[in-house]
Every structure is written in C-alpha cells, then in structure tokens.
Structure 1
Amino acid sequence: MKNEKVHAIIGPQRSAQVKFVANLGEKAQVPILSFSATSPFLSPNHNPFFIQTTQDDSGQVKAITALVHAYGWQEIIPIYEDTNYGNGLILYLKDAFQEIDVRFPYRSLIHPSSKDSDILKELKKLKAMQSRIFLVHMTASLGSKLFVLVKNLGMMREGYAWIITQGLSSLLDPIDSKIMDSMQGVLGIRPYLPISKNVEDFERRWTKSFTSSRKANLFGFRAYDTIWALAMAVEKANIKQNSSFLKQNASESKVDLAAIGVSEMGPRLLNTIRSTEFKGLGGYFRLVKGQLEASAFEIFNSAGTYDELLYQIKLKKFDAVIGDTTIVANRSSYVDFTLPYSESGVSMVVSMKDNEKKNMWIFLKPLSWDLWLAIGAVSIFIVINKNGYFVGYHEDSFVRELLIKQLNINESKLKPYRTPEEYHEALSKGSHDGGVAAIFDEIPYIRLFLSKYGSRYAMVGPIYKTDGFGFAFPLKSPLVSYISRAILNVTQDKDKMTTIMRKYFASQTTCVDGSSAEISSYSPSLGVYSFGGLFIIVGVASMCSLLIYVAKFLHFHWPASNIIPTEGSFWLRFIELVKHFDQKDLCSCPFRRNESKLNPTISSSEGFGASPSIESIDDEEKDSRTSSEGADNVAIDENEGVFSPRHGDTSIDVASLL
C-alpha cells in the first residue's frame, strides 16, 4: 500500500490472516477481497473495507442440519481443526442441532501442526466410543492426513458414517488418488455449481495452460470471478493508475504502518465493487452487505468409480443407482440390473485431418509404409500397443480395466479424461505432443462427442459389446421387474425413442468446425471413396494380368499364315483364336496330373502351357476317342474321364466359313 500504492488487494487465502490485512485495508481505505476466507467471524459488518467474495461457513449450517435430520441421527462427534476457521462453524452447528435434538457427545480438536502419531492417538480414542457418526471440518491439508489414517484404522467400514463440510468438499478434485480412495463413502456438503459452457471452456484452458494434473475447483472459479469483478469495478469507477494516497508521512521504512496514508479512490472503488453483478463461473456474482449472496448447496457421495458407487448398494447405504451404469458381469454379483434402456459397447475414436475422409488413400494411413511392407495387414490395436502410443479413456469407467486386461495396453500409457472438450484437446495434440493417439469409450459417449466435433474424428475398429445401460438395485429387489417393464414400454415405442435420440444426440445442427452434427445422417465410418486407391490398385493389377495373358495367348496361338487363306485372313485368324480359347489346355496342372496317372508314357517334351497342334494328332488318342464331324471341339472320353481336343477332321473348311 505504501510503496506500490495499490488500489485493492485480493487475498489472503486463510481466515487467520484476513483479520490483520482487513485492519490495514480499513486504515488505508483500500478494499480487501478474499475468495477463500470463510470464517463467520470475518463479517464485513465489522470490517467495512473487507469484501468476502465467497460464502462464509455459517451458510452451510442449514444444509448439514437437513442431512442429519433426514438420516435420523441423534449423536454426532465433530472433528475440527483448532483454529478460528474450525471453531467458527461449530458454534453455529451446536445451536442448529439443538433445534432437532441432536447433541455432541464429544468434540475432537486437532491442531494443524499435529503429527500422524497424534492424530492416530485421537482416532483410537474415537473408535472406542459408541458413536459412529462423525462430522469433519478442516482444511484439505489436514483433512487428507486424517482420512488416510481413518481408513488404515478400519473406521471406514460398514457402521460408520462420515460427513465433510464445504471447506474440504470444494477441494476434492486436486486431492491425490490415494487420499481419494481413503474417502470413499464420505458424504459431503458444497455449494451447487451449475455446469455451463463458460465453465467447460475455462476448464479446457486450465488444462492446456498448466501441465500439472491439478484440476480447477470451486475456489479457483471464485478467484476468477473476484478478479473479473475487480476489473469491471475499476473500469466503471474510472480509476486512474496515477491516483495517489493522501496524508503520507516522510518515513522510508517499509514496515511503518503509520506511513501508509489513505487511498484517494478507495471509497469510490469499494462502492463500485459492492454494486457489481454478473454471471460468473461460480454462479451469479452478487454481493449482499459485502458478502457473496448465498446459493444452493448440494449433497454428494464420494463414491469414486461406478463399481464403488454400486458397491454402496450392497453395503445398504444406497437403495438404487440411477444413471448411465453399464451392465457388466462382475457387477451383477452384488446388484441386480434392470433390462437395458440403451444399447452400448466400447469402440475407439481417432483423429482425422481436414478432408481426410475424401482421401482415396486413407486406408493406408493407420500404418506407416515401413509397417505395411513388413507385416502387410495388422490390427491397429497391436500397433498402438507396440509403438507405445498413449491411449485415452473415460475417467472412472470400466473401460480402463478392459484396456488393461483384454487389450493388454500398458497402464502407464493410459490417460483419463472427463469431457468432450478434453477428448478434443488430447486427440488434437497427438500421442507425441502430450495427447493421445486414440480414445476408447462407450458408444453413446462417442456419439455425443462426434455430434459436437463432427468430421474431425472417426469411430474405427471393432466394437466390444456390452449389455448396455441399466439401473441397479439390491439383489432380489422387487423393483427390478417393475422398472424393467417400464423400460420396455419406452424402448419398444419407436416414436419415443426417435424423439429421445434426436433430442440428445442430434440437438446441435452445426459442429464447432461448421460441419453437420446430425447423428442420424452422419456416419463416422469410411465410405467407398475412402478406398478408391485400393480399388485402383486392384484394377490396374487385374488389367495388367489380363494384358499379359492375352499377349502370351496370341504369341502361342496366332494361326500360321500357311494355313489361312489371304482373303479375309484377319477374321479367320480371329475365329481360329476363339476356338483355341474355348479349348481345354491339356498341359495345365490339373490335366497334366490326370494324364500322368492314365498315360505315364506321355513325353515330357509337350511344353507347359502350349495347346496341342492343330494338324498333329497322337495316333493312340485317335483310337480311344470318338469323333464326329460338326461336333464340339472338345469331347469327353467316358473311359478315361478327361477332356481332349476333338479328333476327326482336323482341317478347317474355309469355303464353309466364307
């Protein structure tokens, strides 16, 4: 404030730090905006230049109370960190729980600097108590350590219930997978975040800009909205860069708080920020008395993959799972599925360059020329596996196990993705530039992806069939038959299914690249023109073979000039060639084998591939073959069972032909 003459400050992140900074802001009349400090003790009513661009923890009390009341729990043990952040919520919860006759038999305080041994000691004390319902209110750094120890101690088994508040729930996405595994089955409270195109675009840009695996979360969205709100307010208030501070002392000390002075434009900027409203990533941005307006909360279960979600039915924590749940054999051992409401299967999507479908040589693209020459034709899956290409799949789906166990793809070459935008980003980059060579997913999801990006990609390769999507219920549940009959009534109604398909798979008229997105008319498969190059190769090869054969035939069978009259010689020669073409070649392989068996004394001097002479006829064959003038040129010897040229009149009646 003193040296840089800032007009506003965004931060700090922690509630414990805000009180000091907020006091400085009030002294210098500089607005202090915090998107992550949620302690109820930091009310802007007590700090007029402090703005909470997030909801304080007291806003979630009603949602937590409603959850506890719905389950009918009477005793809950709160586990919270020993800070202002942790203590602030518990006071509000105590008063709210008293209204629904819920009490705290014990309170567990854990200091942020506690070692694992200290936390483990406290957990063992809790395990010895009768109460099995716990409410955890702490930051992600402390909460992640807690739940790993909780699972190791066996306190995540059936009979225990865990609830986490929004401070930990909103930071689940960046948490390590090992920690996430330890939190399976935990119930959470967090502000409801509506999914919008702006959110999806932001997540895509986030993934592209940052190489780490961290994903954007609610606090990230709130930080983004806070910056936008401040920028809009600065522009609206017409704040100039050279705006000065008043009443500055001459002290050069950087820590002399008395030398800060008072911002000239601070009050105007504060009022402008308070009146700023817009639709942000974290919801609608509107401040009420210096605090973000409360929004709806959602209750979620940290169930992880669909397998883990379905297993909650077996544990009797859920009565059913309704959604796009794939029917596979291993899941049917602990749940009953309804009849499928949608056909499914797993296939592969690969990238195609612009107008590549119109390339008649596209059939050569999957493999390099060296590979074509080395192995001819080979499965594209083997190519991907042997070349070490990266492969994408839908996160938390059974497709991952299919790729590892059935297609033998190395686990280190698999990359999980969640949205069509992430699919597009990964396929556009390619395997050698941080992306993937192909993405495997279930066909309904592939259709959704292709409906948005159209001709840029194609679904190729075999389809690994599954039994489709169904709803899951406990084993022997009577609801399975009722729901299955209802599904049949819908799926067998062609008009209803056509309406559903058009609504969800052909809702977009134009893809992002401008091409048609109608699934019903768009086929990602390759057409006849795509194999035009192959047809050309086959056609040229066939034509060359035919020309070579004709040339050899003319060379061997062109009638000599001494047996054909000069008049009309061309047509006579042509007719003679036709007669030769219609004859059976006794020197070809099948006839030579038969002749060798029937007449082993035949001279080997009869050339391979040449027909017998018109004028020279074997005497031995004359005796064994019947002939009649005017009959066909080929007769069948019933005794020998082979074809032979007609014998008898071996000359050509030229006069009759003329």
Structure 2
Amino acid sequence: MDFLLLLLSALLHLHTSLSSGTSTVNFQVGVILDLNSSNSPVGRIGLSCLLRAHSDFYSLHKDYKTRLVLHVRDSNDSVIDAAAAALDLLNNVKVDSIIGPQKSEQVNFVMDLGDRAHVPIISFSATSPSLIPRTPYFIQTAESDANQVQAIASIVKAFQWSQVVIIYEDTEFGNGIMPYLSNALQDVNARVSYRSSIPQTATNDFISKELYKMMTMQTRVFVVHMSQSLGTRLFKKSKELGMMSNGYAWIVTSGLTDLFYSNDFDSVVAMQGVLGVKPLIPKSRELEKFASKWIQEFLQKNQGMNMAETSIFGLWAYDTLWALAMAAERVGKSAPNVHENNVDSEGLFALRISETGPELLIALLKTKFTGLAGKFNLVNGQLEHTPYQIVNMVGTIEREVGIWTPSGGISKCLSNIISPYSTSKENFGTIIWPGDTTIAPRGWEIPVSGKKLRIGVPQKPGFNEFLKVNIDPRTNAVQVSGYFKEMFDSVMEALPYAMPYEYSAYPFFDLNGSKEQYDAGLGDITITATRSIYADFTLPYAEGGVTSIVPIMYENVNDVWTFMQPLTKELWLTTATFYIFTALAIWILGTKIITTTRDEPGQHVGMICYFPFFPGQGIDGSLLCLVLVSWAFVASLLNSTYTASLSSRLTVQRLQPSITDVKQLIKNGDYVGTQEGSFIVSFLINLGFNSSKIRTYKSTEDCDEALTLGSKKGGISAYYDVLPHIKLFLSQYCGKYMIVGPTYRTAGFALAFPKGSPVVADISRAIIQLTENGTILEIEQRLSSNLACLGPESNSTPTSVTLRSFLVLFSITGCVTLICLLVSLLIYLHKQRAFLERMSDFNVNVRSRFYVLWSYLKQRNPWAHPKTTNTRDQIPVS
C-alpha cells in the first residue's frame, strides 16, 4: 500500500509539472489520513474529495502560476504512524503545509511539529475544541464540536428534560467537548446525572455493563458523542437491551449524524428514532452537480460501502484544498517557493524551518469564498459558526425536523427564524421517537419495568389526624386515609402522564428498624435546611409555622387589688403627679386673689379645695379657670375610662395564659413538649432550651395529660408544634389551652423525594395547578369543617388602660398650666419693678440681697396689697 501511495504522489507531481509548464511554482502539500481504517470512512472520503478538488480547481484556473503537489501518507489509525509520517513530510519532502491528520489525538501531537517547523497543519476532520488554543499553526477547516453544544442544549430545554446522561468516547475527540457540553446543559437547568466514558477499544461486554448501569437509573435522555465505529456498536447493544423503545430519548452529535448514510443495515435499524445535529449545508447547483458525480466515483472505488449523500467531512476537505490553492497563488505572486535548509536544534527531532509556511498561513487565514459546504471564513483559526440542522433518523433517511441558529434558536426553517431566541418544542416538525411513537419522552422513568412508585407513609399511634395508616391483619394491605392522602391522589391525577404508585407503611417511631428505600415520602414533613441537604422537596401544600400553646388561667375578680387593675402603674403615677402639679398651680394663682393675710398652711389647703367653686375675678381668676377646665376635662375622661374598665372586669370572666414568653420558660427551667421524631426538638434547642428540658410525646392525649400536670408534677408548661397540628389540638381540647408567643416561620408541609429525583418539578407544577383552581383549598375546607373550636377568642394577657392612651391629654393640660403660671409671673414682675431694680443693683452685696428677699416674703400679701414698711423693716442698702 505504501508503494501505491508513493506512486500516486509521483503521478500527481508529474501531472502538475506537465500541465503547468516550466514557470510553475510548486507548493508541496502533505496529506495524512487513515486510509485503510475500518473504524471510520472519513479518511477515504476525505482523500477522494481532495483529489477531486485538486482536479476541479486547476481545470478551472489554468492561468494560475502555482500548483499544489500532494504527498499522501497513511496514518494507519495510529498516533505514532501519524507523527512519523509528519516527520517524513517535513524533513524529507520539505512540505509547505500538511492537510491532516484525521483524528484529534493525532493532531494533538503533529501540531507541535508544525509549530516548530513553521508549517501550517490544516485539518478538515479533527473537531475537538481543545486543539485550537495550542498553536497558531493549527487551522480547523471544520466546525469545532463546541459549536453544536448550544443546539443540543436547546433540544433538551424545548422538551423540559431536567436530567441528561452523556455517553462519550474516551479519546481526545470525546473528552474535548465535555466541558462545553456540561456548561451548555447547566445553562438550561439540565443536570448531568451520569457521564459514561467508553474506551475506543471497549469490548461488547464492557458496553453492555455500562448500558445495564444506565438502565437502573431514572434518566432516559442520552447524549452520545462518539466516532462511527464505537457509536454503531453502542446503538446495537442498546437495541438488544430494549433501550431503543418507548420512553427513551437519544441525541447524537454531528460525527455520528453525518455518517448515518454510510452505516450498515443493522446500525440503521438500531438508530431509529434518534435525534441528531449537524452543520447545515446550503443547497446549491454546484453541490448537486458535484454530489451526483462524486458518489458514483466513490462507490466504484469503495465497493461494499453505503453512501447516499455526500459527507460534511468530504465537503470540508474539498473546500480546504480550494482555500489552500488560492492562498498558494497569492503567496506565489509575491515570492518564489524557496526552502531554507536551516535546522531547529532544540527538541527531540531536528526539523527544517520553512520560510513559505508563515506566508502561506497568513494568506490562508485571509481567504474567503463560498464553497460547497457554504461560506469559507476562518475566525481565530476555526471555520465560522453556521446554523445546525436537527434531523430525525427514520427508516434509511434523516428527516429534517428543525433548524437551530445562534441568534434565533430553534425554528422550522431558515426563512422562519423566530426572534428573540426560542426553544419552544412547537417549532419542531413531527418527530418519530424510539418505539415508533410521536409522544415525546418525559425524560425519566421508574428504573425497573412494571415497578410502581413506592410512597412511604408513617404508621404512628397519635398525631394521625392528617394521615392515618392502618394495615389489614388478614391481607397485610396498607390502608391510608386523611387530608394528605386526598391531596396526594389529586396531585397524581393532575400530572400530564400516568404514574403508578403504591403506599408503603413504615413504623415512624422505630428508630432502630430497617432503613428501607422509598421513591417518595408523604406525611407531615416540614421543609428544613438540614433536610434539604439529603432530599428534594416539592412546593409546600400546607401552611408552615411553629408556635406554642399553654393552659388557660382566669382572672380572680375577688382580689383586694382588683380596683387598681383598670389602669397601669405608669398611668396611676402620672395621674398623681399631675394632680399635685395642678394643685400647686392653683395655690400659686389663688393666693394672689383670696389670701390677704399671712394664713396658716392649713388655711392654704382649704383655699385650694374652696377656690374651684369661687375662682374670683380679674385676669388671675381667668388664668385659674383655664387651669381648672383643662384638668377637669382630663379627670372626667380618666374617671369614665376607669369606671368602664372596672365594671368589665367585675362582670366578665377574663382569660390569661399561664406563661407568656419563651424567655420566661427558659428562665424558670420549665419543661416543654413536642411530637416524638419531630424537627422541633432541634428547633427548641436553637431557641435556647436545654435538651434535658424537652419532652416528646406520641399522641395528643399524652400532651394533654402533660400540660394538665405542669412542669412541677412531671408534665410540661408549654407544647410546641407546627400550626396545622396546633389547630387540631385546640379543636380537641376547646377552651382549655391557648396560643401564646410568636409564630416562627417555616416553609410548610411538602412531599419529599430522593436527591435528584426528576419527578419533583412535575409534581410541584401539579401542586401549583391545584392551588390555583381551588382543589387544595376545597380539601382543606372539608378538614376545617370538623374543627368546631380553635381555642378561646382571647389569646393574650387581659389589657389595662396604658399611659399612651392619655399622653396627649396630659401634655395639653400641662402646657396650659405652665402657660398660665408664666403669664401670672410676667404680670407680677411688671408690678414689682422697684423690687427687681433693688435686687439687680450691683452695689448691693449678696447678704443685703438675701435680706431684701426675706423681708419681701414675710409680707402678708405682697402682690395684691403692698403695705407701708416700718422703720425696723427698712432694708439696708449697704
């Protein structure tokens, strides 16, 4: 075979020289492909299209002064052989560029050689995204696999699949796409539940074990990224194991999609119903003309192969040679094809450094034209992003069911691109899924065929008003009733698909029992942060909140201090203070009107009591009346309020809780209780209760007995539970207990599922639907009709009239009194100007001023009737 390849290269060189004349500048181009590999026909397809492109190009461009001379090498599906071929072409043939190698792992090594020799490495078939950043001398004239991940993610989002399994080939080709695919799926809220890495040399037994493992999972959506040889083996095994049946969804990447036509009959049958993505090839007259001739020629030279359409890899190969030939002509016009013989002494291999390679690289990156595969335009060393075609494998053909574009998302055709970006499944054509059905898979299934969903329900002696579980002793059948059961049945009926399920009882208080696995948990399950680490919850279907109840106490109306209770201590003290203040004001203002002699203190008190009835005349009398009116208004309101409150307390029996505050319970060291097995135990510890002060109970009867006894007699002082249970408890023991303290917010009751369960989203949507249409409310109302009593109407300490109720009135009467005193003082000061002048005389010493003041105060009535002073009362001036 090597001899035939050398002969082919020699004939191509001779043909080029004879057809172009002596002035032709030849560019030596190496071609490294897998030509005899049974794993993939890409190498043979690519070489056939390269030769066809070489012939077509120079037959149309006979005036060109440059020619590409192809030197073909077989890499034998080996990285080492590909590297050896590259070394031979670089050192011995002195090539200016290399087309190939075919596979990503081969390119991963050869590109470093091209970088050292400054020779462009051009691949139309190595599509791994990890190759591009390595060296500027590597060019992908194929679309990177990273371009198709958004199209795959859009399909997943369109059908609302929440979980995906990725099956990929454990090679450079397979691993390169994984970060991009995982991120794209994460962006559409699809979790990758499992990654199956299958080596290229995997046996059928290995593939079967991996598929069996995936059958035991709930996920039924698979994205496959493999080469043709490994991918077809995978689908054949999937067909044997029943994984190509109803309920499964398979999506394959462009590598498998493009080569579907070349598969054998068994592989085509195994891939029925599969969705695939591949770059959209625009239809053109040139493409049709090329395809009709090329397919016939290829099948004649490769008998036994199926080829109904041209491969995208063949078209990329065709366009690659055209682009390289155009770039060579641009370089040839500016400089002759001169080869330097300098050698790179660094590294393991001694490589000739090409002078033409860098110029050829720059010219190739600038080359733009419309080829058979569409627009040829290199962006950052890669072929420009194009739309993707979404196809459905049905029979022996690929039916187009949609078009994906980076800007518009999914649409039925290019002329019907929706803006903005759309991922609606309505934009797809009719899809035939595995199992020959048009009903889209929901993306998950119960792992074992025929198994029902096991719903775990707690069997407990008490607190079973919402969910009561009994086991028939004869048949061992689980009998479930109650609000939760009705609600769950309604939710399951509201799902858009049928889901068989059965109830399975477990002993709620058997903490040391067997740990069985359930598909869901039903009961009074409150969502908590700790529980959410180990399980997934639906949206709540019942109210949340934690509160407490305590025994009710009644006020003793025969208490000797009952008359003090209508008003608070602050109001009593404020009333007394204002009474004394008002009395002083009356005395000050009244002495100016009535007192004409130096009376005894007792007479002053009598005057205060007498004056309200004979206030006197003049401005002082008016001020005094104003003080009295304001105080009388406040006193009247206080008297009315006090009378009404006291009457109510003496005639109506008032309720009050035995304990009103959590801090009081903790400070007193009281015991508190809750349900056994409830999260409220840890909740109470977080509130500050000592764990030794928390007692748990299995029934409401036990709680009632404990509350009746109290902490001092072996019971509890308060009982804590979630609101639904508290309301039921109060309805059973009406008038005996009352709610106290704050209601601590919780998320409410919900259904619990194993972590990552795909059914959570669907059931949550069903709960929302039943909430909006009133079904859940109707079920709750049927339960509430049985609650005859929810406790006493008064759920707080009996109230007394507080100071705040009279704060404005006290402020008004205080201001009025102060203003009256200030006006009276100003009037007096105006009348006693002589006294003020004497007191303000700077020549009078302190002792003399004190004597003046004392003499003045000794007068009987200095304001109203100033008297003539005796000689002995003369005030010394100095």
TM-score, normalization by structure 2 = 0.34
TM-score, normalization by structure 1 = 0.45
**Bigger CA radius of gyration:** 2
